[in-house]
Each structure stands twice: as C-alpha cells, then as structure tokens.
Amino acid sequence: MSQDIHQEKILILDFGSQYTQLIARRVREAHVYCELHPFDMPLDEIRAFAPRGIILSGGPKAVYDEGAPAVAEELFELGVPVLGICYGMQLMSRHFGGEVVPAGKREYGHADLLAQGRPGPLFDGFFAEGRSPVWMSHGDHVERIPHGFEVVAGTDNAPVCAIQNVERGLYGVQFHPEVNHTPRGETLLNVFVRRICGCQGRWTPGQIIEDAVARIRAQVGAERVILGLSGGVDSSVAAALIHRAIGDQLTCVFVDNGLLRLNEGDQVMATFAENKGVQVIRVDAEERFLSALAGVADPELKRKVIGNLFVEIFEEEAGKVSDAQWLAQGTIYPDVIESAGGKTGKAHNIKSHHNVGGLPEHMKLKLLEPLRELFKDEVRAIGEELGLPHAMVWRHPFPGPGLGVRILGAVNKEYADILRRADAIYMEELYSSGHYHKISQAFAVFLPVKSVGVMGDGRTYEYVIALRAVETRDFMTAGWYPMPYADLARISNRIINEVKGVNRVVYDISSKPPATIEWE
C-alpha cells in the first residue's frame, strides 16, 4: 500500500501470547496501521520498518528462564515509545535493572488496579477514584522496579503492575489492556498510539479503499484477473474492491456446490452480476459434490473432498478465461497469522487455510490478495463503504465447506435440503426478534438420528435439528447466547411445523472451551 496510510505505523513484537492478535485489532480500531512480527525481528528490519511506536506482547515464558525470548538491547534506544504488556513489561523491567520473581500468588482473571503516585500521560482517564478493573494473566511479577522508572499502579497481590519512564516514552503494564475484560483498556491503547506515539489515525475505510485501488491498478495494469467467488464476506469484498479498481478486467467464478444456504446462489448473482455488473460465471456443481461426498462421514475428510473438488472445478472454469494472468483471493490478515505458525512464526498453528501459501505450480498465475493486511472487522467496514448490502457484509461467519460440516456424518441432498430450510427459519426469526446482531454466530445443525414424536394422532420417527448461537469478541473463546424461552419456543414450533422430516429441536448451551463453535 502507499506510503501515506503506512507512514504512521506501530510494530507489535509477539512473544507467544494468545492475545497478540487482539492488540493489533485494538490498534487498528484507533485507525492506526500496525503489523505483528516475531520478538526476534532483526534490529535492522525494525529500523527499516520505521515504527512510530513499539508494543511488546505477553507470553507464556518466564523472563528469568535460560533461553527466554528477548529483544535486541538497542531496541530501547531507538527513540520511539515502547509499551510492554505482561511479559513485555517484565522484559523491559529486567533490561533496565529491575527484578522479576515468581509471584507468591498467581493472578488470573479480574483484579482491582490501585493508582499510586502521578498517573502520567498513558494513564490519563484510566483510573476512576483511584482504581480501575483489569484482566490479569501472570505467575511472575516485578519485585524491584527498574532504574529510571516509577510505579503507577499495583494490586494487593502485585504492588508493581504499571510502570513508566515518561521522559524516555517507556511504559509497562502487567495486565492485559487488549482484552474486553479490561473495560478501559481500549482507551489506554488509543492514548498510547495516538497521543504518545503521535499517530493521527489515517487508517480509515475510505483511505484503505483509495490506496488499495491504486495498488491493484499498478499491479495488474491491463491484464485480466479471475476470482473464486463464494458469496462469503471476504471473497465478496475482494470482488467489489477489485471491480472498483479494474472493472471488466475481473471475471468471477461462482461454484454452487449445493451446500449453500437457502437461495444463496441467486442472491450472490443478484448482488454482483445484476446490480454491480461484475462478470460472474456460475457453475451448478451440486451433483458432483454430493456424489463425491457419498458415504464420507469423517469431518476432516469431508473438508478435503469439498476443498479439492472446488479447486478442480475452479481450475476447469478458469482455464476457459484464457487470457487471465492473475488469481485473486480473499485472504485476510488472520489467515496469514494462523497458517503455518502465523506471520509471527511463534504462535502454535491453529488451523490451515486453503487460500494461504501460494498456488499449485501448474497454475501459471500471479497472486492478487488485496485484503491480506486487513482484519475481518476492517473487511466488513470497507465492504459497506463499497456499497455491498449490509446483510451480506455483516452476516455471521459461514464455513468454507458450507452445510457439509453442519450435517453430522455423511451428506446427501435430503439432509442438505432439510437443514437449509431449518436454518433459513432460524435466521428469519433472529432478524425479526432483534437477536441477530447481538449474536456473534448462529446456525442450525442437522443430526442424522431419528427420534420418536407425535403429530396429530400419529407416531412420527424423524430427524433432529440443533440450534447454536454464541457471543464472542475474538472467536477464541465463546459463551452460549441466552435466548429467551419464548423465542426458542417460536423457532422450534416453526421448524417442526414447516420443515418436513423434523420432529425435534434442541438448543446447544455449550461454551468454547470445552466445546468448539462449529460442531464439526
């Protein structure tokens, strides 16, 4: 992207914290660009990156352990503000002569932070009547404060929980301001990047679009681009953005695998082909997918079958666009971070993504990924700015394999049709009752078991539908949504009455962990 919106940027060095992505999201929410990199990023690369400020993340190690993660000593001499969070604060303390020791009592969860001395610029407005609720997750604490620093706050268990050296722009906090459980944490991070680091906040949807359009035009020139359009948020926004940049040079391939939501294929065509004038090749591949999935019950195998067949069909259609030289993908920043150990290279590999890691060698196409630097909420924001329907941009996540992993066990057309109708009723009721936008993700699941029921004067033996709805900020943890009983009763009644083949509806009240959000 252009220098303009990258001129102000924050560098986040990752020490392996489960919350590092959240730090980046909070910085972006302050309209400031940032990147995640491993803690051992070479100093010359840090200088070349030219950050306005640096944030050191938390991490699972102890700073006093042999071989504990560290940074180059010169990092603190670069003349830019540094904020250390949890492990990052302990590392900074140790570097400047402080002492970090195992705590007599560990702190995990909520704590009451008590102000001490002057608050300093970072903590302006952070305390109310001398205290502030925060979220802790540590087993070590600073026993002796580092040279040149002063204590800002502590808890009854850990007297040194916030430190500062205002003259050098160095700050440390033992708690986690990036998580939702620290109510004023977002404000603290905003103060750091905007006031202390001097960033004005140029990272806005309009400027991101303007910059991306210029970059796409510069990359592609007069060449043609093909894109696999799924109807999901990421591919839809990528299509709209690329079309804004190069118009008819873009051709989308929409593979209808028969595992989409009710009327979704027609909605995709209406949005892109009819309303926006995008060239879209629609492929009706329901029979091919259902045939390939016949008898396949293992969820991972189902994913592979669906993914491999999608690539096969996409390549067939892409081959018909003979002059295409670019393949566009809706890769977003979390895909990059979470794949192959993540961009930082330090985090545990959570899951793989089919659209990260390059292209098959036989596909002689260049790769175009205009959303690669963006988080999901940023993608949604620019989608609305590009004029995509609100319901499309803000709808709940939908897995790549579609209903294939929301039908437990083997997949067939009967199961898919039942689930499609049940899910549509569920979504319709969530919208009309006002719950949809309070819920992070909701969906129906088809259970391939039959239960006894009674309808009219007759006995029935039909299938079960499970309803899932969760609340979450980051999808790493999630709680089940407390749906009012009256709404559940209405949804259940409609599904049983209107969807032939279902006589029982259940509601999933499992949290993540120990359960996952999706059932497969």
The answer to whether 213 touches 177, Cβ cutoff 8 Å, is: no
Question: Which of the two residues, 141 and 229, has the higher pLDDT score?
Answer: 229
Lowest pLDDT segment from 74-83, 187-196, 316-325, 342-351: 342-351
Confidence of residue 352 (pLDDT cuts 50, 70, 90): very low
Mean pLDDT value of segment 12-29:
93
Q: What is the pLDDT of residue 104?
A: 62
What's the mean pLDDT in 19-36? 94
Q: What is the mean pLDDT of residues 97-118?
A: 82
Please give the pLDDT value at position 106.
Answer: 67
Q: Is residue 311 a known part of a binding site?
A: no
Question: Which is more confidently placed, 99 or 291?
Answer: 291
Say if residue 359's pLDDT is above 80: no
The confidence band for 213, taking pLDDT boundaries of 50, 70 and 90, is very high
What number is the average pLDDT over the span 227-237? 91
33-42 average pLDDT score: 94
pLDDT of the residue at 67: 85
Q: Give the span between the Cα atoms of 88 and 86, in whole angstroms.
A: 5
Q: What percent of the chain has pLDDT over 90?
A: 71
For 412-507, give the CATH class: alpha beta
Mean pLDDT of 242-267: 95
- pTM summary value: 0.84
What superfamily would CATH give domain 3-196?
Answer: Class I glutamine amidotransferase (GATase) domain (3.40.50.880)
Among 181-185, 317-321, 455-459, the range scoring the smallest mean pLDDT is 455-459
Contacts with 21 (C-beta within 8 Å, 6 or more apart), sequence order: 36, 334, 337, 474
How many Cβ atoms from other residues are within 10 Å of residue 396's Cβ? 16
Q: pLDDT: is 482 or 18 the higher one? A: 482
User: Is residue 131 within 8 Å of 155, Cβ to Cβ?
Assistant: no
The answer to the question of whether 17 is labelled as a binding residue is: no
Q: Is there a binding annotation on residue 230?
A: yes
pLDDT tier, 274 (very low <50, low <70, confident <90, very high otherwise): confident
| Angstrom distance (rounded) from CA 442 to CA 470 | 7
Residues involved in catalysis: 86, 176, 178
Is 291 known to sit in a ligand binding site? Answer: no
Q: Tell me what pLDDT residue 350 has.
A: 31
Q: Which residue has the higher pLDDT, 480 or 365?
A: 480
What whole-number distance in Å separates Cα of residue 347 and Cα of residue 20? 9
How sure is the predictor about 107, in pLDDT bands with cuts at 50, 70 and 90?
Answer: low
The stretch 358-380 carries a mean pLDDT of 83
Is the pLDDT reported for residue 411 higher than 70? yes
CATH number (3.40.50.300, 3.40.50.880, 1.10.10.10, 3.40.50.620) of 205-393 reads 3.40.50.620
Q: Give the pLDDT of residue 345.
A: 41
480 pLDDT higher than 80 = yes
Phi and psi for 9 in degrees, rounded to 5?
A: -150, 150
Closest to 253 (Cα-Cα) out of 182, 333, 185, 320: 320
Say whether 231 counts as a known binding-site residue: yes
pLDDT, position 11: 97
User: For residue 347, is pLDDT > 50?
Assistant: no
**Opening angle at CA 266, ends 265 and 272, nearest 5:** 90
Compute the distance between CA of residue 269 and CA of residue 282 in angstroms, rounded to an integer.
Answer: 8
List of residues 6+ apart from 78 with CB closer than 8 A: 46, 47, 54
Q: Give the distance from CA 209 to its chain's centroid.
A: 20
Q: Where are the alpha helices (DSSP H) in 270-375?
A: 286-293, 299-318, 333-338
Q: Which sequence spans correspond to the domains of the chain?
A: 3-196, 205-393, 412-507
Q: Do domains 3-196 and 205-393 have the same CATH topology?
A: yes
| Cβ atoms 91, 71 nearer than 8 A | yes
Average pLDDT value for the chain: 90
Residue 296 clears pLDDT 90, i.e. is over it: yes
